[in-house]
Amino acid sequence: MRPEILFPLFAPLSTLKGVGPRVAPLLARVAGDKVRDVLWLRPHSIVRRTPAVLSAAIDGQVMTFEVAIQDHQRPRTSAQPWRMQVADETGLMTLVFFGRFGEGLAQRHPVGARRVVSGRVEESKFGRQMVHPDYMVAPDKADEIPEVEAVYPATEGLPPRRVRAFAHEALSHAPEMPEWQDPAWLARQGFPSWREALARTHNPEAEADLEASSAHRRRLAYDELLAHQLAMAQRKAARRREPAPRIAAGALAGRIQAALPFRFTGAQDRALADIRADLAAGERMSRLVQGDVGSGKTVVAMCAMADVAEAGGQSALMAPTEILARQHFETLSGPLEIHGLGVVLLTGRDKGAVRAAKLRALASGAAKVAVGTHALFQDEVAFHKLQLVIVDEQHRFGVAERQRLQAKGPGTHLIAMSATPIPRTLELTMYGDLDVSRIEEKPPGRTPVATRAVPMPRIDEIVGRLKQAVAGGAQAFWICPLVSESELSDLAAAEQRAKALRHLIGPGVGLVHGQMPAAEKDAVMSDFADNKLSVLVATTVVEVGVNVPNATIMVIEQAERFGLAQLHQLRGRVGRGRRESACVLLYDPPLSETAQQRLDILRRTDDGFAIAERDLELRGGGDALGLRQSGLPDYVFADPFAHRDLIAAAGDDARLIVSRDPDLKSERGQALQVLQELFDWKAGLALRDAG
């Protein structure tokens, strides 16, 4: 139930004065369909209407003058504007009106009348003029003209000044709210009240008032972040209350580990220990394991699967593509089957009797582990005793898809795996309802990938070397970015590139792109993985986690267009083995200073987490990182980078609140419920969260 105090803000736009059936859809295009959404608009700049005399007019500036009307020049043809001569003691100006203004103008502004006009001054070949003044009022109404005016986003048919008027109208509908923040914290931060903060947002007095660092903006950002963190903390607490199978670490995993040709890194040991603590706790686990491609997440998951199997349960590992699923199957089936644990690979390709046999093995419990694609969560797939779900490249799946798989067993534990390193500062906003383990260390013995930035004009040289390397048995990825508005022209560019390389290097050049049917894409990828192709041209990051150990060269065209983290991930596809690998970043010169810095970082370090952190600093916002796609929420006031200190504080605050007042029943708790409602961040809205 929505608290009554919020009714005016959740009312339709038509409750705002001046918003009728014609304006409402226009305003909805700029804001949203509720009064609250208009209240949440923010001016993006301000205009100063400097009062001046005409002799001090400056070309191109918005200024305000008090003038007398001297003459009207009526248009002789309909194409001509209406012109009005005005003057003060220091000079002359022409006001210009296009369109059908007619005699009304002359009646409203008779010769001899005094007017205050405000608008942009232009010095033209017709002399000084002002086209369509923003304001034109009698001197006793001059205070209707703001000296500092906030400029709002607008749309066709709804100019910024009308949007501003509606925002002010919405502000007048905003009630005083019960304070949901801790008064001591507010005082320490110097934050205004919620309503004061909004009032200041809509009445900026200087540029500084528009900045993310202003006290009123930080207050609103904190409100929003707290609402979100609170929802996640509540969800986490609720999950912990759900009963889940208690699974103890067994001896089998240790035997499997001992048989591997390598030893776990410290980071892998820690991640496994985290998982085991969760599994033994009798609470439902939701743990994200973050680690670069090749950091060894899959073998960690394998040990957890062995624990579950030894305790009599089943596990399912879901990957976003068939080729990834197959690679996981190959990694897991050997070590697990030696110890008598049946592993089944289930993809969309399975048909008829083979598929039926696999389904039977899962339903009877004969198979302890299922590895597969989307095929896993289909209705016909049933498990005997599913207790652990592992989702690889978790951001490639919808929450609903993951939940369908989890629903195939009671209280199933979840491990989500991701090779996209999230900066620590953003971890809370993206995964606040999950527990996170980071694998920050790479297995030993990998040679770092030699990374070079090369200007595009030297592409022939690169192709020449590529040809040599390929002749010597090497394999290479060649990435063409999606850059233009049209996917088709990008595709054409990639096709061209593939053609040119085929011409120069030979027929072993394949092409994959986003518009190919999945099966066709998989076929090309497999050919490359099986070394039937030596060069793979790809339009985007087609297969993030794909493992082609023989590939040692990565060429990235227009590298300056990619985010650092993305470049790092692409680079991670080579350098899997002991052989020397190379990454060539082709760029269109000249490089901007930031682009230069970014490429330098990549050359200097191989630590995905450090790179993600630097990328965020250099670009100053989660948006630019393309993180929204991978689950960064769409905040109204909060800027994940500028307000990163507030994210941490809101996370702490939320945990404290939930531990003291889990049902938000205290006085502050009730105010917090209003806050959550206000921002639509309610614990019940499960589908918006990752866990």
Binding site for Mg ion (CB under 5 A): 545
Beta carbon nearer to Mg ion, 310 or 606: 606
Beta carbon nearer to ligand ADP, 295 or 321: 295
Beta carbon nearer to ligand ADP, 61 or 550: 550
Q: Is 21 helix (H, G, I), strand (E, B) or coil?
A: coil
From the list Mg ion, ligand ADP, none, which binds 291 (C-beta under 5 to 8 Å, kind-based)? ligand ADP
From the list Mg ion, ligand ADP, none, which binds 296 (C-beta under 5 to 8 Å, kind-based)? ligand ADP
Minimal distance, residue 610 CB to ligand ADP, in Å? 17
From the list Mg ion, ligand ADP, none, which binds 335 (C-beta under 5 to 8 Å, kind-based)? none
Is 515 within 8 Å of 474 (Cβ atoms)?
A: no
Minimal distance, residue 572 CB to ligand ADP, in Å? 8
Q: How many CA atoms lie within 13 A of 391 on its CB side?
A: 25
Nearest-CB residue for Mg ion: 545
From the list Mg ion, ligand ADP, none, which binds 262 (C-beta under 5 to 8 Å, kind-based)? ligand ADP
Kindly state the tokens that stand for 688.
């918006």
Minimal distance, residue 397 CB to ligand ADP, in Å? 16
Contacting residues for 376 by C-beta, under 8 A, at least 6 apart: 316, 318, 346, 370, 405
From the list ligand ADP, Mg ion, none, which binds 315 (C-beta under 5 to 8 Å, kind-based)? none
Minimal distance, residue 205 CB to ligand ADP, in Å? 52
Cα dist from 606 to 447, 567, 627, 685, whole Å? 11, 11, 20, 38
Is 225 within 8 Å of 646 (Cβ atoms)?
A: yes
Minimal distance, residue 392 CB to Mg ion, in Å? 6
Minimal distance, residue 545 CB to Mg ion, in Å? 4
Beta carbon nearer to ligand ADP, 115 or 297: 297
Angle (deg, nearest 10), helices 667-678 and 215-241: 100
From the list Mg ion, ligand ADP, none, which binds 438 (C-beta under 5 to 8 Å, kind-based)? none
Minimal distance, residue 297 CB to ligand ADP, in Å? 3
Beta carbon nearer to ligand ADP, 299 or 599: 299
Q: Which of 50, 69, 74, 56 is nearest to 123 (CA)?
A: 56
Beta carbon nearer to ligand ADP, 79 or 258: 258
Beta carbon nearer to Mg ion, 95 or 324: 324
From the list ligand ADP, Mg ion, none, which binds 299 (C-beta under 5 to 8 Å, kind-based)? ligand ADP
Minimal distance, residue 423 CB to Mg ion, in Å? 21
Q: Where are the alpha helices (DSSP H) in 506-620?
A: 518-529, 564-571, 593-604, 608-619
Kindly state the tokens that stand for 270.
């820690």
Minimal distance, residue 445 CB to ligand ADP, in Å? 7
Give me the residues that bind ligand ADP (CB under 6 A), please.
262, 264-265, 268, 291, 293-299, 419, 443, 545
d(CA 658, CA 611): 34
Beta carbon nearer to ligand ADP, 437 or 673: 437
From the list ligand ADP, Mg ion, none, which binds 691 (C-beta under 5 to 8 Å, kind-based)? none
Cα dist from 585 to 433, 462, 478, 497, whole Å? 37, 10, 10, 16
Answer positive or negative: Cα dihedral of 521, 523, 525, 527: negative
* Amino acid (1-letter code) at residue 272: L
From the list Mg ion, ligand ADP, none, which binds 358 (C-beta under 5 to 8 Å, kind-based)? none
Q: Where are the alpha helices (DSSP H) in 366-517?
A: 399-406, 424-431, 459-471, 487-505
Minimal distance, residue 440 CB to ligand ADP, in Å? 12
Answer positive or negative: Cα dihedral of 482, 483, 489, 492: negative
Beta carbon nearer to ligand ADP, 266 or 506: 266
Beta carbon nearer to ligand ADP, 129 or 418: 418
From the list Mg ion, ligand ADP, none, which binds 348 (C-beta under 5 to 8 Å, kind-based)? none
Minimal distance, residue 259 CB to ligand ADP, in Å? 12
Kindly state the tokens that stand for 503.
């011409």
Q: Is 689 helix (H, G, I), strand (E, B) or coil?
A: coil
Beta carbon nearer to Mg ion, 201 or 418: 418
From the list ligand ADP, Mg ion, none, which binds 290 (C-beta under 5 to 8 Å, kind-based)? none
Beta carbon nearer to ligand ADP, 268 or 373: 268
Q: Which of 297, 287, 334 is nearest to 547 (CA)?
A: 297
| Polymer length of the chain | 691
Q: Which of 197, 176, 234 is nearest to 636 (CA)?
A: 197
Is 446 within 8 Å of 595 (Cβ atoms)?
A: no
For the residues of 259-289, what is the DSSP string, one character each?
HSSS---HHHHHHHHHHHHHHHTTB--EEEE
Minimal distance, residue 658 CB to ligand ADP, in Å? 32
